[in-house]
Structure formats: structure tokens, C-alpha cells
Chain A
């Protein structure tokens, strides 16, 4: 009946209603748009604020001694050499151990168990591991490798980081392998290649850049991990590259130094934060460039 009631209204009045309605809609639209603009602005300002703080407070402390001296007691001009080296060792080893496992699992999900029951369960579990709190992985490795063997060690730190690496590599490997056209696989099999050969020689080669991206992202992620290292490699203020002893790392050193009351330690913590953030951001950007080169 609405048509008749509208028609029975004086024309001027219905015009007015339509006009005010369209004005209202335009107003709501404008408000929504402005709020979204504002939200994006806030996000960008926050990013700039963080990077700006790092550059301002960390940049002023960058000095050769940071890279040539190891951590020393406050007031004696220490650096971060042992922390940087420890971080490099643990990150590299963790990624070296975690990547093959992640690669195999990703291959399993993409090539062998696509939608099978087991495949779905493994995929789900791997995704849960991907976003599980990293502090719990630290506790797990503590229970597994630190408590029974009576001491914090670089090995435990490496193991914790490797556990974090696995699901990241799984995710990207599977995503990249599923993007490979089936025709490529069929062509390889038609030439008489066994399945493993088709995967290793054809699919891996075609997905190489994508897989490399995953590994880079994994490096970027574990390089900044702090919580799992607190309970595994603990940190070490002396020079040590022995894997069976507590090992220093950049994030843990930042954590210890930032909470200290000594000005020069806090300054070093800012330098470390600057190094690690820009290292991580650089690797992230590198990963994007690698991915874009796929052609």
C-alpha cells in the first residue's frame, strides 16, 4: 500500500522527504569515510612514531664500539658483539633445522594429502602452531631440553626457534605449490618421471621464489623473538659461541638492558632495537621483492 500513500502525499512533501533522506545518506557516508581516513592516518602515524623513536634514540648511540665490543658492566663502554653473533648463530641454525621439516610438511599437504582427513588435520595443527604464543614454545623446549639436561643452552634456543620456523615455511610452501598448474605435473609424469622427481625437479623449481619468500619471512620472525629464548638460551654477558652453554641474543639483551637503571645500557638497548627492527624490515622488503620476481 506504500505506493498509494506516497502518491497521495503532496508532491512537495515527498520531495522534501527524499531530499532529506539523500542528504542524511550523504552525511552518513561522509562521516564513515572521514573516520576511515582518520583510522588509516592513526595507523600510519603510529608506524612513523615507532620508527622515528628508534632512529632518534637508537641512531644517536650507533658507534663502532657497538659492533666490536662485547657486553660489559655499565659505564665501561660495552657493545653488543656477542649478542649480535649469538642472534645470528641461533637464527641461522634454527632456520636451517626448521626449513627442511617445514618444506616436507608443506609438500605433503600440497602434493600428497590435499583434502584427505590426515591432510586437513595436519594443516589445522600447523596453522595453530603458526599463531600459538611463542612463550609456550619456550616453556615446551625448557621442559624437553633444559630441565632434563640441567642447564640453559644455545641448542635449546635453536630448537625453540626451529619449532617457530616450521609452520611459517609450511604455510608458504603449501600456498606456493598449490599455485603450480597441474599440467606441469602431468607433463612430467607423462614423460615417465616418478612423482618425487616431478615434485623435486618441476614443482620446487617453479615455486622456488615463493619458498624462498617463506624462508625469509621465517628469518625475520625468529630474529626478533624474545620470549622463547628467555627459558632456553637464557642470554650470556660473556663471549661464548659454544652451543652447550647459555648463549647471548640481541632481543634478550635488549630486554635485560632496557629494564636496567643504567643510562648507557638503556642507550645500547635502543641501538639493539634499531638494528633488529631495521634488519627485520629489510628482510621483509627483500621477501616482497623476491616474490615479485616470479614473473
Chain B
């Protein structure tokens, strides 16, 4: 049957993506062994490549982005489902969904030309002056204020995934049966107490699933990050230091990697690692969100 064949085709497609990335990365995995993952060097002259810096950059930018985006997204979803007057809900919801539809290269450009100068001239010097000398966390806020770097990338990523998470959260908040909420209001609960004790526990799994979906998006984001991360293969303790992510190093180094070279293979191996990381995150998110067809 045709439809069955098409269904199987999708399975084959995913399998082919995994296999092709793995085969492409095989020479690098063979040459460097497991050390590939823990090697911090990325040296085209010595032909020595390692994945630790891009993997670290990918994880740290995505996690910081989540820390910024999740509270904001929760606020938006809360506002849209409980607080906003009815006439405002539809247009505001649409506006947030449209923000999610803007292509990522636009976020990259906007970040590069607008946010980077703002960060470099105002935000980062301010933070360095005021937080740089604090014991314990001061090391996070030291160094020169380039404007680009891990912190700015995380900020752009946060702006990018905010509407995704907000839209998902709003949708799951709307699934809470009105009777639950009305009962709580009837007992004299405030709006905040209803959300905290009724809405959140009822939707916990889906909310986490939505957050994971945003995380998956942040992990693999290429264009928005490549513009602003500074593209230096170094792990710096300061949040303002430049760095690299898997996607940004692949996008930048790919044109300089001739076919069949060890460099190309290392880039494909990085792609394979990114696939594994995002597959795990997406699988968890799908499990928590529940597959739609079964509802």
C-alpha cells in the first residue's frame, strides 16, 4: 500500500540521516577514538580535532537561554490564559506565534547589528563593574566586553525560543478543565494560587515537554548563534567570553573543509553528536507531551 510505503519511507529517512552522519564521521571517530569527545583542540594545521569546546558551548548557551526564556514564557502563558481581557487574548496569542515564525537568520542579523553593540557598550560593562568583583560568582562576569560571546548568544536564543515555549504552555494551560479552576476560585484562591496549585500540577508533564522542545530548538540553532558567538575555540570561564557551538562551527568551517579530509569527517562527527544530543532531548519531550494521535 502506498501510504504504508510512505510511512516506512519516513523511518528510512531518519535512519539514513543517522547512518550517513555516522559514516561521514567514522574516519574521525577511528582516528581520535573516544578522546574526540574530550579533546579541546581544534587545530587545522596539526590536524588535531576535538569536540569538547563546541559541545560545551552548545550546552551552556542552550541552558542559559532556557533559564531566561522559561520564566518569561511562563509569564506570557499565564497572562494569556488567566489575566488578559478576552479581546486581547487572540491578537496577543497570534503575535507571539508570529514571533515564533520569524526565520532564525533574522534573529541572527538583529542580534549582530542591534544587540551586540548594546551588550558591548552598556550591559556588559555594567555587569562587569557591578558583579565582576563578587566572591563566588564574580568570575562569570569578568574580561573584556566584546559584545559577542556566550552571553549574547544565549540571549538571542532565549528570544528565539521564548515564543515556542510560551505557545506550547498556553495550549496546555487551556487543557485544564474549567471546573477544576472554578472550584479553586470558589474556595477563595487567588489567581496565582490557582495557577500554582491547580494548573501547574495538572499540566506538569506537558509543560516540561514544551520546555524540552524549546531546548531541542536551541541546541540545533545555527544562524542566530553563528552571527554573535564570537567563534573562538576556547572554553572561557566568563560568560562574556567568545565560544563555539556545534552548529556554528559546522556552518563556519564547512566551506574550508575539502571533501574526504579529516576535518570534514570531524565536522560530520560533530553533526552526529548533535543529532544524538537533540534526539535524546526530543524523545523525552515527545514522551512527556504525549503523542497527539492517541489523545
Show the binding face of A for B, using Cβ within 8 Å.
25-26, 28-29, 32-33, 35-40, 42-44, 46-47, 49-50, 53-54, 57, 101, 104-105, 107-115, 118-129, 131-137, 139-140, 143-144, 147, 163, 166-167, 170-171, 174-175, 178, 220-221, 223-227, 230-231, 251, 254-255, 258-259, 269-270, 273, 276-277, 280-281, 284-285, 288
Contacts and interface: CB of A to CB of B under 8 A. Distances in A.
A49 B217 CA distance: 22
Interface stretch (B46-54, B136-144, B275-283): B275-283
8 contacts: A39-B74, A43-B162, A54-B106, A135-B222, A136-B275, A227-B247, A276-B106, A277-B102
B3 interface: yes
B165 to A, nearest CB: 11
Nearest to B159: A46
B76 interface: yes
Interface of B: 1-11, 13-14, 16-17, 20-21, 23-24, 71-76, 78-80, 83-84, 92, 94-99, 101-110, 112-114, 159, 162-163, 166, 190-193, 195, 213, 216-217, 219-223, 227, 247, 250-251, 254-255, 259, 267-268, 271, 274-275, 278-279, 282-283, 285-286, 291-294
A248 to B, nearest CB: 15
Q: Is the interface of B mostly helix, strand, loop or mixed?
A: helix
Given A50-B107, A112-B1, A127-B291, 4 more contacts: A47-B95, A135-B222, A136-B275, A270-B109
Contacts of A132: 17, 220, 275, 278-279, 282
Contact of B17 (A140, A178, A259, A285): A140
A108 B6 contact: yes
Contact of B192 (A32, A115, A122, A123): A32
B7 A230 contact: no
A251 B108 CA distance: 11
Given A33-B191, A119-B293, A128-B286, A109 B106 contact: no
